[in-house]
Amino acid sequence: MLKNTLLFLLSGFLIWSSLVLFLLFNGSEEQQVKDISRSFKVKPGQMFQTEGHYHLSVLGTPVAEYLVELPSHQWSEYTYLLVDSDFQQTDFHAQLVWKSGDVAFQTVPLELGKSGMAIIPRITLNENGPFEVYLQMTQSVDLGEVTNAPEFRFKRFELMTDSVQARLMYSWLVMTDLKSLKISSLNFWAIQFFSISFACGVLFALTIWIVIGWLLKVEMKVMVLALMSIWIIFSTPIWLNQWQMKGLMKSQFDKLADNNAINGLDYRLKKISDHLSQTITELHMENLPIMIMDHNAFSRTRLAYHLHRYNVLTALSLNNIPVVKSKKGISTMLMLISQQLLPECEVVTLGVNAFDDGRLIWSEQGYCLVKI
């Protein structure tokens, strides 16, 4: 039995070390790094550098593209793109786009806010002819809204060959890439993955090793300890991440949670809701439905949350109003509408058919309260 155990452990050592060596060294290239932080084709004055950061001013358009000035044939020499950026804005996204003429045929999303690596597709000139790669930045805005002009801040953009060091760095980043907790962050933008060769290798190694243990009839204790050792090695990043998470949360949120408002925007929405509640009480309209119109889903739903004491209608169009009035036999409703949908709170601009007698009651912090 001892002999079988030793054979099993030896086979495990051979299998896993072979796998690690294979994944690291098979097909690896010489380490080469190309810094393309200054290779974006931008207008004069659009990009500048401070200590430790580059700053790229994204003009006020929802989609901005900047050509990466690198010949087509050089892209195929590199496998990884390292993006080190501490810029984070929830409605702001970046990706690399491969274009042949005006036709985009490949995209690679980039993860901002930390150090991340993306795998670059190896596209040869034979496949799609000469191509160009653009850094595309997108900002989600509502129609008609003026975009902010954020300053995209980053430390470096580096291309790396498929070297051993790059593979190690990429694997470590994937293993430690546990998403930070935001209000709704369980909808992941999953960008960094292990490679399929990694997955196949681990799958194969694990299965073969367990089958060897079965054939050698090793004891359960030995098998479990062996599996545990592999599991501990693999799960080490989560221990570190969990510890960091606790420290981060302690430092960033070192106060009792306010159950009424969950962030700065929500404080504003809570104030608007309180004002609306006061108005409803003064007008004795507690039993009438309130319509909330806002394209921003968070604001709309959060207002409905704060106004839970009332009958709140959301996600409706103006055409629903006559239907609601006739079905419910009511002549008056309140509507809280965002100024993005009702500029300057000009009630008449909503259309005659929707309101026979629309009257603005108040406007506050980007919202209009209208009696309809």
Partner 1 sequence: MIEALIFWLGFIFLGFGVNFLLVRKKNKQFGLDAFVLFLGLFVFIVLAQIFQFLGWSPDCLWVIPIFSFLGLFLWLKDKRFQYWDYMTVLHLFLAVLMVWWLALDMPLSAWDSWLVWELKAKQWLAHGWSINLLQFQDWLHSDGGVVSSTAHYPDGLSLLFFLGKWMSGSSVWMAWFLPLVYVTIVVTVIDVFRKQGASWSLQIFGYLVFFTLPLINNHIMMEGYADIWLAMTLLLLMVQLAYRHYYHHHHFLMMLSLIFLLPAFKLEGWFWVALFLTAQFIAQFLNNRYRLILAGLILVVFVVWFVPSYWHFSWAGRTVVFSQFFIQLGSYFSIQLVPHDISSEIITGLLLQNNWGLLWYFLPVVMLIWVLIKYPKDDRVNQVFFVLSFVSFVLLFTFTDAAQWAENYAAVNRVVLQLTLCFVFLLLHTLMSWDRVANKRI
Binders of partner 1 among residues 200 to 229 (CB under 8 A) are 202-203, 206-207, 210-211, 213-214, 217-221, 223-225, 227-228
22 binds partner 1 (CB under 8 A): no
Residue number with CB closer to partner 1 (43 or 255): 255
Angle at 276 between CA 273 and CA 281, to 5 degrees: 125
**Bridge partners of residue 63, in order along the sequence:** 138
**Bridge partners of residue 53, in order along the sequence:** 50
CB of 228 to partner 1, least distance (A): 5
Contacts with partner 1 in 128-187 (CB under 8 A)? 174-175, 177-179, 181, 183-187
Residues in the interface with partner 1 (CB under 8 A) total 73
* Composition of the chain by helix, strand, coil, percent to 5: 40, 25, 40
Rounded distance between C-alpha atoms, residue 55 and residue 108, angstroms: 22
328 binds partner 1 (CB under 8 A): yes
Rounded distance between C-alpha atoms, residue 216 and residue 316, angstroms: 67
Rounded distance between C-alpha atoms, residue 327 and residue 304, angstroms: 22
Complete DSSP assignment for 24-54:
HHTT-----EEE-TT-B---TTSEEEETTEE
Only segment of 65-73, 84-92, 151-159, 324-332 that touches partner 1 (CB under 8 A): 324-332
Rounded distance between C-alpha atoms, residue 355 and residue 254, angstroms: 49
108 binds partner 1 (CB under 8 A): no
Across the beta sheet with 80-84, the strand order is 33-35, 156-160, 80-84, 115-119
Residue number with CB closer to partner 1 (126 or 259): 259
CB of 210 to partner 1, least distance (A): 5
CB 31 within 8 A of CB 175: no
Residue spans of alpha helices (H) in the chain: 2-25, 72-75, 125-128, 164-176, 196-216, 220-252, 264-283, 297-306, 320-328
313 binds partner 1 (CB under 8 A): yes
Residue number with CB closer to partner 1 (21 or 249): 249
Tell me 319's DSSP state.
T
6 binds partner 1 (CB under 8 A): no
Residue number with CB closer to partner 1 (255 or 284): 255
CB of 189 to partner 1, least distance (A): 9
89 binds partner 1 (CB under 8 A): no
Only segment of 102-110, 126-134, 159-167, 307-315 that touches partner 1 (CB under 8 A): 307-315
238 binds partner 1 (CB under 8 A): yes
Residue number with CB closer to partner 1 (87 or 209): 209
CB of 170 to partner 1, least distance (A): 12
CB of 217 to partner 1, least distance (A): 5
CB of 363 to partner 1, least distance (A): 25
Only segment of 127-135, 161-169, 193-201, 345-353 that touches partner 1 (CB under 8 A): 193-201
Q: How many C-beta atoms surround the C-beta of residue 189 within 10 A?
A: 9
Residue number with CB closer to partner 1 (33 or 227): 227
Q: How many C-beta atoms surround the C-beta of residue 9 within 10 A?
A: 16
CB of 200 to partner 1, least distance (A): 9
Contact code string over 254-293 relative to partner 1, x by CB under 8 A: xxxx-x--x--------------------------x----
Please list, in sequence order, all residues whose beta carbon lies within 8 angstroms of the beta carbon of residue 171, skipping any fewer than 6 positions away. 194, 198
Only segment of 21-29, 56-64, 66-74, 242-250 that touches partner 1 (CB under 8 A): 242-250
Distances (CA, A) of 145 to 62, 140, 218, 366: 10, 10, 67, 13
Across the beta sheet with 103-110, the strand order is 63-67, 132-139, 92-100, 103-110
Residue number with CB closer to partner 1 (73 or 182): 182
